Structure 1
Amino acid sequence: MYQATPRTGTGLASITLGGRSMPLMDQARIYACGITPYDVTHLGHAATFVWVDTLTRVLRTLGVEPVLCRNVTDVDDVLVRAAKREGLRYDDFAAFGEFRFEGEMAALNVRAPDYEPRAHRYVRPVIRLAAALVESGAAYVRDGSVYFRGGPAVEAAGTGRDEALRLAAQFGDRPGDPAKDAPLDAAVWQAGEPGYPAWDSPWGPGRPGWHAECAAMALSVFGPAVDIHAGGADLKFPHHTLHAAMAEALTGVRPCARAWLHVGTVTIGGAKMAKSAGNLVLAEDLLAVQPAAVIRLMILARPWASSWDYTPALLTEAANRLEALHRASGLPHTRPSAVAEIRRLLGTDLDVPAALDVATDAGGDAARLLTSTLGLT
């Protein structure tokens, strides 16, 4: 296997994401929003985690060691409701889902994260976060719940009010909750309800809010800021907006992430994949008919931020491109400038499509470097 040459000397590595250039020292802290393990892994999920895995591989190629934290949201209302439908305890149901997810990620050659915090182990940090936000005036207590004042964060995000309300309702933020001062305030701590798990708190029994869970886990693992925050583009609002705002309100450090990797949505016939729509393409089904390298290349052969529409023809196209890349990898050593160009392109907004063209044309070391870096071996 071709191994990338580590960065040496006094040169400072850097990577560009979303137009933001980031100089990096020896490590890069990456927080990735992981799964809520209540359902099967579809292609949209897989695309996010393949891109996060590729980001870590690119950083290593550039001579920077990534430190990846990918959480598991195993305390969540949607998970509890799904477990009830199956007649299982929510924590057992979550464990089954997580086991299945990890197997599918391994099959896709997605490396395990360095840290994998699970929300149920971070209830006390959420309580401390809630108490601190109340003390600072960024949150308030009402009827056993703690609500974060979300208005300023929503305004700063630039999401129109009607769209913000729609998304808040879609993601379970309960904009119609009469206990809130404003519809777009978000629960840091949710008062206990029959049928849902509950922990003791200064405000009575309850459970952590989704956005607060990620804020608490990221802060506990990395402190007040990260270099890159990753997740699906569909999480940009309200989840990323509000958990970043909670973290920043607690620490005063802004921004809490130097750059964001919001991976584009995968659609079918123009519609977002969703169980309710009945249009899921499952990772396990794709793995049954194609090698992981083909699926990875299908995901990666496009800009990471772009949404795209899946068709079976894309798998055939990816298989042909992979075969061409492997043929090119068998050629003798090629010009050093091609290897340097591969590194430059990957460090410039993870430009895999352009890097594929260079590697397939140049062959040799350039093709071997790209094959290894993209996890296609």
Structure 2
Amino acid sequence: MRLQLGGRLLPMVGRVRMYVCGITPYAVTQLGHAATYVWADALDRVLSWHGHTVSIARNITDVDDVLFAEARRRGESPTMLATLQRAAFEATMTTLRVRTPDLQPSAANHIGHVIALASALLDQERAYVRGGTVYARTGSAYLRAGIDRAEALARAEEYHDHPDDPDKDDPLDVVLWQETADDEVSWPSPWGKGRPGWHAECAAMVLALYGPSVDIHCGGADLAFPHHAAEAELAEAATGVMPFARAWLRAGTVMVGGEKMAKSTGNLVLVEDLLADYPAAALRLLILDRPWAEPWNWSRDALDAAAAELDDLYAAAARPDAALSGSAAIPARLLEDLDVPTALAMAIEDGGQAARTLIEMLALS
């Protein structure tokens, strides 16, 4: 099998290990998040179609300052809020025909692995302690994301990595383990009561589940820095194994009027609202009928167009076969960087089994 992903050949032999950055369970699922999970699911289905056994881990970030703040605002326990939001998220994923992952680790269940990761980095002098907080030396991790230091500092501020922390040796160092106040959620550690840093959570979960590397790491494009860059830096520094991920699938950012869809900007489009008016297959096609890495603008007109194109695909599937080679060409086309737009055009033109194959491969029924 010759999978092209991100413009490079990615040979696969046997089992494929995929890790997908999951949700912080404090709010309902929005379209930007759903895009990542639908693309990861499509890749899983394409690999499985070609005979690979795919093992997928999708984490739950249930140890997070944003989650804790939202729980306080609602007057609920963080555990209860995370449980309810996780159940709602999983119901939405089921409706969208996103397969249930083989592994669903939560940060709260991997505290010991974060402590082990921090200890390993301290042993190699890739981390240091200030008070009860452990910092990792990640000042050059931004180079992995192809950005300059000024942009890295701006993004570190945006993602609450606190580049202005005076205890850091470098503003771009990240927290492995953070000291907490007495009234905050915490766990015991060799450095006192505290909780893990965000980037360390994902690195520790991958190492615990799959060892020192994965074949494909999935997430949103907005996570390239600081999260993915720091995560890879931590794992590689701890294990000495490179690369941490053989390939990255970062789904393009979903925009509204040219601005990133985000709770902070108040421009969220909720998946549950869309599913009240449109079939799940139309929403999947809206997400998939484009190059996976490119940012794109949400509009109701675009969803209407996806629904109409889905009808065209169903009509094509009902036609007699025009060319027997079409059904074989569809799976091959999807190996070329998950080229759904070309495969869709071929399926509608050829009809018959070619269209039915695409519908089955991408769960568009």
Q: How far 1:337 moved relative to its partner?
A: 2.1
User: Equivalent residue for 2:201?
Assistant: 213
- Which segments of structure 1 move beyond 3 Å, counting only runs of 4 or more? none
TM-superposition CA deviations, 1:188-237 (whole Å, max 9, x none): 11111244211110011100010000001011111111110000001110
More deviation, 62-71/300-309: 62-71
Aligned residue among 238, 250, 259 for 2:226: 238
Alignment map for 1:187-198 (pairs within 5 Å): 187-198=175-186
TM-superposition CA deviations, 1:309-342 (whole Å, max 9, x none): 0110011111111111111111233423212221
What is the identity, as a one-letter code, of the residue corresponding to 2:69? R
User: Equivalent residue for 2:235?
Assistant: 247
Question: Structure 2: how far apart are the matches of 1:294 and 1:154?
Answer: 37
**In the alignment, structure 1 residue 307 sits paired with structure 2 residue 295:** yes
User: Equivalent residue for 2:42?
Assistant: 54
What is the identity, as a one-letter code, of the residue corresponding to 2:168? K
**In the alignment, structure 1 residue 95 sits paired with structure 2 residue 91:** no
More deviation, 165-174/231-240: 165-174
User: Equivalent residue for 1:10?
Assistant: none
TM-superposition CA deviations, 1:283-303 (whole Å, max 9, x none): 000000000001101111111
| Percent of aligned pairs sharing the same letter | 52
User: Equivalent residue for 1:122?
Assistant: 110
**In the alignment, structure 1 residue 151 sits paired with structure 2 residue 119:** no
Q: How far 1:365 moved relative to its partner?
A: 1.2
User: Equivalent residue for 2:210?
Assistant: 222
Alignment map for 1:105-144 (pairs within 5 Å): 105-144=93-132
Question: Structure 2: how far apart are the matches of 1:209 and 1:53?
Answer: 28
Conservation of the 8 A alpha-carbon contact between 1:74 and 1:94: yes
Conservation of the 8 A alpha-carbon contact between 1:35 and 1:71: yes
**In the alignment, structure 1 residue 77 sits paired with structure 2 residue 59:** no
More deviation, 28-37/336-345: 336-345
User: Equivalent residue for 1:203?
Assistant: 191
The gaps in structure 1 that reach 5 residues or longer are 1-12
**In the alignment, structure 1 residue 325 sits paired with structure 2 residue 313:** yes
Q: How far 1:134 moved relative to its partner?
A: 0.3
Q: How far 1:25 moved relative to its partner?
A: 1.5
Question: 1:199 aligns to what SS in structure 2?
Answer: coil
Question: Structure 1: how far apart are the matches of 2:227 and 2:292?
Answer: 20
User: Equivalent residue for 1:316?
Assistant: 304
Question: 1:261 aligns to what SS in structure 2?
Answer: strand
Question: Structure 1: how far apart are the matches of 2:3 and 2:90?
Answer: 28
User: Equivalent residue for 1:274?
Assistant: 262
Aligned residue among 14, 29, 54 for 1:41: 29
Conservation of the 8 A alpha-carbon contact between 2:145 and 2:224: no
Conservation of the 8 A alpha-carbon contact between 1:122 and 1:216: yes
Q: How far 1:46 moved relative to its partner?
A: 0.8
Question: Structure 1: how far apart are the matches of 2:117 and 2:287?
Answer: 37
User: Equivalent residue for 1:364?
Assistant: 352
Question: 1:40 aligns to what SS in structure 2?
Answer: coil
Conservation of the 8 A alpha-carbon contact between 2:253 and 2:294: yes
TM-score (norm 1): 0.95
Conservation of the 8 A alpha-carbon contact between 1:77 and 1:196: no
Q: How far 1:84 moved relative to its partner?
A: 0.6
User: Equivalent residue for 1:351?
Assistant: 339
Conservation of the 8 A alpha-carbon contact between 1:333 and 1:364: yes
Aligned residue among 48, 63, 66 for 2:51: 63
**In the alignment, structure 1 residue 262 sits paired with structure 2 residue 250:** yes
Alignment map for 1:159-174 (pairs within 5 Å): 159-174=147-162
TM-superposition CA deviations, 1:236-287 (whole Å, max 9, x none): 1000000111011111111111110010000110011122222111000000
Q: How far 1:171 moved relative to its partner?
A: 1.1
Conservation of the 8 A alpha-carbon contact between 2:31 and 2:270: yes
User: Equivalent residue for 2:275?
Assistant: 287
What is the number of equivalent residue pairs in this alignment? 365
Question: Structure 2: how far apart are the matches of 1:282 and 1:109?
Answer: 17
Would the alpha carbon gap of residues 267 and 366 (structure 1) be closer, same or farther in structure 2, given more than 3 Å must change? same
TM-score (norm 2): 0.98
Would the alpha carbon gap of residues 30 and 315 (structure 1) be closer, same or farther in structure 2, given more than 3 Å must change? same
Q: How far 1:165 moved relative to its partner?
A: 1.2
Q: How far 1:65 moved relative to its partner?
A: 1.9
Q: How far 1:156 moved relative to its partner?
A: 4.0
Conservation of the 8 A alpha-carbon contact between 2:4 and 2:337: yes
User: Equivalent residue for 1:179?
Assistant: 167
Q: How far 1:177 moved relative to its partner?
A: 1.0
Question: 2:167 aligns to what SS in structure 1?
Answer: coil
Question: Structure 1: how far apart are the matches of 2:8 and 2:360?
Answer: 26
What is the identity, as a one-letter code, of the residue corresponding to 1:165? L
